[in-house]
Structure 1
């Protein structure tokens, strides 16, 4: 869908729907997020949301040490660092700084499509190599892959149980507004067996794009070696529930209003990612809460060290740790999944 006309994304989507009929939620979400991320830096106080690496350096540092520990126990092979959707580059800077203390200094590869964010990343990581998709990642050595809050922004398919059976949710126009309504094509065969009898009005979500990316990366790991850590908010499916949401100025908003002007996300089904990875020939860990993972990696010791070095920031550092690990914050809502290549050691924290 070309943006050369100068019309807003909302206008272009409206025209498409008026001319050709309703579009799947997945298509609406993909168009909205493509525009959103291409046209702004969404992070921080002035943006719409804040990610764990922006809360504290401890998150990136422990991620880097997690990678370095695996790499060390795997025999210290030549490897590449890969990050999917690296935001401003904050996590990569912190992770690579920590990894260097263990002797790990890999070439850096960033998978990113946003010109705005690439500019921010380049200012911090000038020697990185950028990729639009995972397909162009190098195939000559093991990959150490980080995906923090990446999969939640990929487009999801939503199926709703109606009186006539399961139907895909489509985005239509009513009274000048975008609204989700069930389509007319049966989708009963696409619903997991255990959920087919769910109550009328129930919604089942899937993310084919996430499964495809995991499949591609897992095949790389199986062939090249390495590991992947995925951290996001999510659940272990299959399950029913509508998790599509929008954030605008750090507040929840209507996901079908002002497409392309707010961040659209959905909870990640970690079970589907793990299943895809195992089918491609790699090991998938249990799924653990972000808080438990960070505590196992030593965030208590790291926060204590930072507080001793900067006593004036002790309260701020303690608050950041609580936000990253607390059950009432990111500690249990956010989860972690590790993938490891055949022959690679068991990952710490799982």
Structure 2
């Protein structure tokens, strides 16, 4: 468990750039470097997370931890990856964040955003080479990217994934994959029952509880409804708890969540601390656990059987279509928000080109890339 926790803790300290970048970091660390799982297994976890509400990249991390060490491994992965951002946002909530105005700090953050461009570009290229070999898959990837770039929204993302799955069943199903010995699908309905119980309980608590129970209920509902994770959580959280927090304070928390490494869902940490002033740490813990819990419960429903499910011919075809669409989603995310928020001037683009070239030619550890981009980003503020 310590190995899982420590690996994810290290990533939680350096994973800037949002869900798309996190998927790139995870792939490099656990598929390419550590080889805890192969590319197909990793892609199936990414695809499963796309169909479930919740924090997409954290769900993928949870699945990797579960694959390596069972339920305790999944929890260790979650705690390790989330702890750095939880602590930072809690400290920001209860102390002043004036030091963020320091130019050197801003330079470091900007350098790490440029690294996120490199990581997402590498992940997109690797997944394209693996999952878009057939012409139909390439078309699905391109169409997905175009649609998401033109009409970026949660509903659009869900729609293109559904269409890609249907197209995969029709166009990418391979009849020779049929095996009469394929074991039956066995879903773990216990976790589904717990998820439903939590959702029904949250609906009751919203109107009958003014204490920590209402905080849990509000964030649990948001975690149950967010498809796509990342920036999608903002409007739902604003609608859920915005009336209890000033707009300036809410946007401050959102900006800080974007500026630090780790999952953006830890915006709940900042808001929870603000909502429960009697004990900010307790409010932060309750809000954070509540927003992550639904997505993990739904992952557990099908995680054990996901490999079996994915081997069935029509499911395999649907999965092939979804994998191609996920590459398109990554390509769209590479443009917006990863590229557009990081590359502002020609020197930024030059750093991205150099970083990508170094990564592909010399294949250095991600730690060295993080240090290099951070140092260069800070140095450029002195020029």
TM, length-normalised to structure 1: 0.26
Which structure carries more relative contact order (alpha carbon 8 Å, separation 6+)? Answer: 2
Q: Which has the higher strand share?
A: 1
User: Normalising to structure 2: TM-score of the pair?
Assistant: 0.24
